[in-house]
Amino acid sequence: MTSLLSWEAVLALLLGGLYGSLFGAIPGLTATLAVALFIPIAFFLDPLIALPAIIAISSVAIYAGDVGSAVARIPGTPASAAYVEELHELAGRKGPVYGLGISAMGSAVGGIIGTVLLIFSATGIAAVATRFSSFEYFWVAVLGLTAGVLASGRAPLKGFVSLLLGLLFATVGIDPTLGYPRFHFGIPDLLSGLNYVVAMIGLFGFSEVLEYLYRGGWAAQRALPELHGAPVRHFYVLPLRLIRRFPGLVARSSLLGVFVGFLPGAGADVGAWVASSVEKMTGQHDREEGPDRTVLAGTSSNNAAVASAWIPALSLGLPGDTVTAIVLGVFLMKGITPGPLLFENDLPLVWTLFGTFILANVVLLPVFGYLTARLAARIVRVPFPLLLSVIAGLCVVGAYAINNNAFDVWVMAGMGVIAFLLRRGGFPLAQVVLGMVLGPILEQNFMVSAIKSRWDLMSFFERPMALGLMGLTLVLLVVGLRLTRRLRSGAGAPDRREAAREGEE
């Protein structure tokens, strides 16, 4: 049996990290797709070589999705869309090396926290997950949607409208519960629904192209800050100082990522949205470091969720996300049965997984993260018209590559036009993606709960864990509305003082 410290395993880890960093940086080519394309090779490898490569791919690809956000405001993964505006603003004010440094260091710390909890509490946390029914999953989706709306800042109503639009897009296709086709307008390609990754590419990527053409090009240019000091300092030292200043934020966001990640079917995307939304709500008053803290919250949460998604996979044989669902197939193909007996029968394999997670977060993320950040710093200095033509090409390639379907390219272009119109009215785009991600989870668990309770809606409030999640949603709603009211009054005060001063003159 191959050891994790053998040269084959180390080579697989390094090549997996390199592959994940290149793959995740391209919009539309997600960590799930990277792992899926690696599976035909994994079938011919020893499990102690294939699994470290898969973990390295998924961990680094989740981080690499932030490269597009920093360079061109195009998130590479749905998790990156949760804080794309803040990361792009950071890259414009303080440079992409610093912004991606926060992303890499936050991902590394969050991943380590998630791995520690994976090591010491895999069986216990998985036991909690088994007690979650469709009622609890419904309230988890409601909690995520509520946090997303309140994270839109001083205009929660516009955020709510964007969220409703995303929920509407999520209803296109076959009803997941009853199997009834809807909103397909006689187009067979719409029966499979609108892929939220395709929509994300259009909303954030293609809309940038349209925005550039609308403004005539000159307004789209971005002044880049000059870096004072070595890039190593901006990538490692300053982000680590930020983490040291806000340890509570990192711990809270990582624990949120772990909590959401171990729920089967949730994964890193939902964890990043919840953590970054909570930080946006509580830290919006801090205009100087607000974006830094939001990016740190989102990145530490998503990689903690990457690790915790393996908890139900190892302990119960239930996939925590799409990546672990693919890995379970590899387990079965290799004759490995996931579940409680895995810790007794294949203990060397389990410890190899734990060690790989630690190495991926301690070594791979800092090293490959620095290389991709330096590459991003060079990319943003490319003449913007040339860069934008490359972005347009990547949008088309990324949208087509997801399902190998030319129709998705038209969907991507249509989403770009919709995003262009939404931006004219000041409506946020991230909430549209959030609605498309959480919409199916919300609808399916509501319908399943309603059907099995014979449409007794009081059953949504009978289970203790469901009541706890509902109470947390209400607390979040009350606190968020109070913070929004305070933000509005704080923003309006200077305007009123200025008007009074003009009246006296």
Report the predicted TM-score, pTM, of the whole model to 2 decimal places: 0.71
Q: Residue 269 has what pLDDT?
A: 67
Q: Is the pLDDT of residue 21 over 70?
A: yes
* Distance between CA atoms of residues 360 and 10, nearest Å: 11
Instruction: Indicate if the pLDDT at residue 468 is higher than 50.
Output: yes
Q: Is the pLDDT of residue 58 over 90?
A: no
Question: Cβ(63)–Cβ(107) under 8 Å?
Answer: yes
Give residue 122's pLDDT.
64
Summarize the confidence of residues 257-265 as an average pLDDT.
70
Cα 505 to chain centroid distance, Å, stands at: 51
Pure H helices in 290-429? 290-308, 310-315, 322-333, 342-345, 347-359, 365-379, 384-403, 407-424
Confidence of residue 13 (pLDDT cuts 50, 70, 90): confident
Per-residue pLDDT for 188 more than 80? yes
- The string of pLDDT tens digits covering residues 424-433 is 888 888 788 7
Task: Compare 302 and 268 and report the one with higher pLDDT.
Answer: 302
pLDDT at 267 over 70: no
The pLDDT of residue 135 is above 60: yes
Model confidence at 493, pLDDT cuts 50, 70, 90, reads very low
Q: Is 173 helix (H, G, I), strand (E, B) or coil?
A: strand
Query: For position 284, what pLDDT does the model report?
Result: 53
- Select the more confidently predicted residue: 308 or 167: 167
Mean pLDDT across 480-494? 61
Q: Is 319 helix (H, G, I), strand (E, B) or coil?
A: coil
Q: What is the pLDDT of residue 1?
A: 42
- Rounded CA separation 42/432 (Å): 36
Going by C-beta distance under 8 Å and a sequence separation of 6 or more, which residues neighbour residue 354?
Answer: 115, 118, 119
Mean pLDDT of 385-409: 81
Count Cα neighbours of 218 within 13 Å in the Cβ-side half-sphere: 0
pLDDT at 485: 73
Q: What rounded mean pLDDT belongs to the chain?
A: 78
CA distance 292 to 25: 21
Under the banding of pLDDT at 50, 70 and 90, the label for residue 28 is low
Map out the domains of the chain as residue ranges.
7-449
pLDDT band at 351 (very low <50, low <70, confident <90, very high): confident
